[in-house]
Amino acid sequence: MKILVTGGLGFIGSHTVVELAKEENEIIIVDNLNNSKEEVLDKLEEITQKKFKFYKYDLTEKERVEEIFSENNIEAVIHFAGFKAVGESIKEPLMYYSNNLISTLNLLQVMKKYNVKRFIFSSSATVYGDQGKEKYSEELSRGKITNPYGMTKAMIEKILEDLYASDNSWDITLLRYFNPVGAHSSGLIGEDPKGIPNNLMPYIMKVASGKLEILSIFGNDYPTPDGTCIRDYIHVVDLAKGHVKALQKAPKGLNIYNLGSGHGTSVLEMVTTFERVNNVKVNYKIANRREGDLPEYCADATKAFRELGWKTEKTIEDICRDAWNYEKNLL
C-alpha cells in the first residue's frame, strides 16, 4: 500500500516507518523538521535497507500538501505531525491551535479532493481527562481537558467524527496513546527532545548520562503503593506495531483504540528498573507535585487485542535497556 506518514521523522513516526517497511508498503514521509532531524532518514534507510521519498514540507501550507498528493498515488495517511508539549501549549495556545488544526484540516481537505479516505490519527489518552478511573476504556466519552495540546487532540477527534458522519465511506482510526517511551533496539532512532525534557523517561536518560544533574520526582504522597504517580508506559516499537495492525485489521468505518499495556508503573519503579537494568545511577530528589498530574492513568487495552489482535510484547526492562542504548549512542 502507498502510505503517507506525516511527522515520519519524529519519535513515534520514525518507529512506525520501520514497522510499515517490513510489509509490502511504499512509504512517503513528510516532516518539517520542527522537532526532528533529517539524519533520521538515513537511520531509517540503514535499519530497513529501503529508500523513502521525503518531503521537507509544512502541512500548514496547503499548496505543499496538494503537491504531495498530485505527485503520488497515496492510498492511506498516518498523521503524526503536530506540536506535543503540554507546558508549551499552555504558554502558546494560538501557536498550538493554529499549527495542529490547520495542518490536519489541510490534509483532510486534500485527501477528500483526491478521494483518499483511509486515515489513522495519532491521538492521546489525555482526551479522557480526569474521570477518577484507574483504567480508561474507549467506551468512556472524552472528558474535561486541561491544556491546549490535549484540546487539539480532542478537537481533531471531533472533526474526524463529523467528517465520518457526513460521509461514511471514510475509514478513520483514532489511536489513543498512553505514555510512549523506549527506542529501537538498534540504538539508531529514539527520542531526543530539544532542550530540557518535560517527560520522565527522557529526563531519566539525561540524568543517567550526566547531561542533567538530578531528577525531581514530582510528589511521593499520592495514594499509590510507593506514593509516586503510576502511568501506563508503552514501548515505542509496540506502539508502532499497533499502527500496522490498525491499518490491516481495523473494521470499516470509524474506530477508536487505546494503545497501552494495561499495566501501571510508578515513577520510582521506573527509576529503580532503569538503574538495575543498565547498571547506572540516576540521582533523584523528591520535589513538590506537578500541577495537573493524576495519581494513576492506565489503559484498558482489551479492545485493541480483541479487534486488532494487538497487545504490547515488551517489558519495562526492555524499555529501559533500549532507551539507554539509544542515549549512549548520542554521547
Positions marked active-site? 149
Selected binder of ligand UFG within 13, 82, 148, 150 (CB under 6 A): 150
CB of 160 to ligand UFG, least distance (A): 18
Strand order in the sheet with 53-55: 53-55, 26-30, 2-6, 76-79, 118-124, 171-177, 254-259
> Does residue 96 interact with ligand UFG by CB under 6 A?
no
Residue number of the CB closest to ligand UFG reads: 229
Only one of the segments 18-26, 55-63, 90-98, 211-219 lies at the binding site for ligand UFG (rule: CB under 6 A); that segment is: 211-219
* 216 in contact with ligand UFG (CB under 6 A): yes
179 near ligand UFG (CB under 6 A):
yes
Grid cell 494487538 — which residue?
310
Point out which span in 97-105, 110-118, 209-217, 307-315 binds ligand UFG (CB under 6 A). Answer: 209-217
Binding segment (CB under 6 A) for ligand UFG, from list 7-15, 48-56, 186-194, 213-221: 213-221
Smallest separation, CB 157 to ligand UFG (Å) = 13
By CB under 6 A, residue 144 contacts ligand UFG: no
CB atoms within 10 A of CB 105: 15
Is 209 a binder of ligand UFG (CB under 6 A)? no
- Interface with ligand UFG in residues 114-133 (CB under 6 A): 124-126
**SS3 letters for the chain?**
CEEEEECCCCHHHHHHHHHHCCCCCEEEEECCCCCCCCHHHHHHHHHHCCCCEEECCCCCCHHHHHHHHHHCCCCEEEECCCCCCHHHHHHCHHHHHHHHHHHHHHHHHHHHHCCCCEEEEEEEHHHHCCCCCCEECCCCCCCCCCCHHHHHHHHHHHHHHHHHHHCCCCEEEEEEECEEECCCCCCCCCCCCCCCCCCHHHHHHHHHCCCCCCEEEECCCCCCCCCCCEECEEEHHHHHHHHHHHHHHCCCCEEEEEECCCCCEEHHHHHHHHHHHHCCCCCEEEECCCCCCCCEEEECCHHHHHHHCCCCCCCHHHHHHHHHHHHHHHC
Instruction: Find the binder of ligand UFG among 4, 174, 234, 267 (CB under 6 A).
Output: 267
145 backbone φψ class: left, alpha, beta (φ>0; ψ -120 to 50) = beta
Kindly state whether residue 199 participates in binding ligand UFG, applying the rule CB under 6 A: yes
- Cβ nearer to ligand UFG, comparing 143 with 187: 143
Question: Which is closer to ligand UFG, CB of 84 or CB of 245?
Answer: 84
User: Can residue 218 be called a binding residue for ligand UFG (CB under 6 A)?
Assistant: yes
Select from 181, 140, 176, 137 the least CA-distant residue to 156: 176
Cell numbers describing residue 34: 520542527
Q: Segment near ligand UFG (CB under 6 A), from 183-191, 196-204, 240-248, 321-329? A: 196-204
- The values of phi and psi at residue 171, to 5°, are -115, 110
Judged by CB under 6 A, the residue of 28, 107, 205, 217 near ligand UFG is 217
Q: Which is nearer to ligand UFG, 248 or 283 (CB)?
A: 283
Quick check: 290 binds ligand UFG (CB under 6 A)? yes
- When the beta carbons of 11 and 52 are compared against ligand UFG, the nearer one is 11
Choice between 164 and 222, CB closer to ligand UFG: 222
Chosen residue from 231, 235, 243, 321 binding ligand UFG by CB under 6 A: 231
Nearer to ligand UFG, 200 or 239 (CB): 200
Residues contributing to the site for ligand UFG (CB under 6 A): 84, 86, 124-126, 150, 178-179, 198-200, 203, 215-218, 229, 231, 267, 290, 293, 297
